[in-house]
Structure 1
Amino acid sequence: MNIEIVSIAKKERSIYDPLYKELTKMISRFAKVSDVEIFNKDVTKAHTISPEASQSAYTKVLEPLMDKGFTISLHPDGKIIDSFEFSKLLNDKMSIKFFIGGAYGFEDEFLKKSDAVISLGKITMSHKIAKAVLLEQIYRGFSILNNHPYHK
């Protein structure tokens, strides 16, 4: 299985990088994970204009990546699910793309094109922390599907 995490974020070193690396290594027995961070000049410019312009810029750069596989967008108004429900999203898929939006979230039209829209909870967290939580849940989900004791 291939898992791709696509986020609106600046490519920069982070204190979370060792955690991402460790979680990706743990997941590697179940799936290949790739991490794509996008923050181009159009997104930068849109951030100086308005939240709506920013959302539109996010859609413009992310929509072409929705080409194949199962797509899951992370959004505060998405469905809140537990780890067992999350594991079902991973089950029997060849390819999954997770989308993490920018500071202003996603346009409704982008969310409608997603196969699933989920929330990591009602609290607000940075994109860097959201990615760490997502990676941990991916590993936990595979552990559940494979009866590995990690999830207990």
Structure 2
Amino acid sequence: MNIDIISIAKKERSTYDPLYKELEKMISRFAKINDIELFSKEITKAHNIGVEASKAAYTKAFEAYDNKGYVVSLHPDGKLIDSFEFSKLIDGKMSIQFYIGGAYGLEDKFLQKSDKVISLGKITMSHKIAKAVLLEQIYRGFSILSNHPYHK
């Protein structure tokens, strides 16, 4: 299985990188993770214009990755699911794409094209932390599917 995590984020070294690597290593028994961070001059310009321009710039940046698998968008207004529902979300898929929007979220038209829109919770968290939570839930989901005791 291939899993793409596509996010609007500046490519920079982070204190979270060792955690990402450890989680990706744990997941590697089940799937290959591709971590794709996108940030362009157009996004920077759009941030100076406003919310709607920013969301449109995120959608445009994501276009190159559209329709390459089952699409799951992370959004604060998405469906709250538990780890067992999450495991069902990844079960039996050959390719999944998780999208994490920028500071202003995602456009409605992008969300409507998604196969599923989920929320990681009602709290606000940085994109770096959201990615760590997502990776942990991916591993937990595979653990549930394989009846591994990690999830207990």
The residue that corresponds to 2:133 in the other structure is 133
Structure 1 residue matching 2:49: 3-state secondary structure: coil
Structure 2 residue matching 1:48: 3-state secondary structure: helix
Does residue 68 of the first structure (1) align with residue 39 of the second (2)? Answer: no
The residue that corresponds to 2:111 in the other structure is 111
Distance 2:61 2:40 in 1: 9
The residue that corresponds to 1:85 in the other structure is 85
Does residue 24 of the first structure (1) align with residue 31 of the second (2)? Answer: no
Aligned length: 152
Does residue 124 of the first structure (1) align with residue 124 of the second (2)? Answer: yes
One-letter amino acid of the counterpart of residue 11, structure 1: K
Name the TM-score, length of structure 1 as normaliser: 0.99
Shift of 1:50: 0.3
Name the TM-score, length of structure 2 as normaliser: 0.99
Distance 1:91 1:85 in 2: 10
Distance 1:128 1:91 in 2: 25
The residue that corresponds to 2:102 in the other structure is 102
Contact 1:63/1:110, CA 8 A, preserved across alignment:
no
Structure 2 residue matching 1:76: 3-state secondary structure: strand
| Percent identity over paired residues | 76
The residue that corresponds to 2:45 in the other structure is 45
Moved over 4 A (4+): none
C-alpha offsets along residues 59-92 of structure 1, whole Å, 9 cap, x if unaligned?
1111331222100000000000000000001001
